[in-house]
Amino acid sequence: MKMPFHLARSKTNPSALAAMGANRAKEQAQDRQLELLEMARNSATRIVELTELVGELQDRIAVLEAR
């Protein structure tokens, strides 16, 4: 009787499997790092935008208070 695929012993060298797993983990970590860097860049851009808006609001408040 033929053994089911998921139970069959892999013919790939265990050290090669470990290396492939390590490479996959490294790629996933790099992808996550790029994603986090993009999120940080987007957050910094938004902070600058909001800071400019706060400055404009402060200017308007100063004008209203001067009346």
Six-digit token string for 67: 């009346």
pTM of the model: 0.61
* Strand locations in the chain (E): none
Smallest CA-to-CA distance from 35 within 23, 27, 24, 47 is with 27
Split the chain (67 residues) into runs of 10 and give each run's mean pLDDT: 60 85 94 98 98 98 95
Element (H, E) at 43: helix 14-66
Q: Distance (Å, rounded) from C-alpha 20 to C-alpha 13?
A: 11
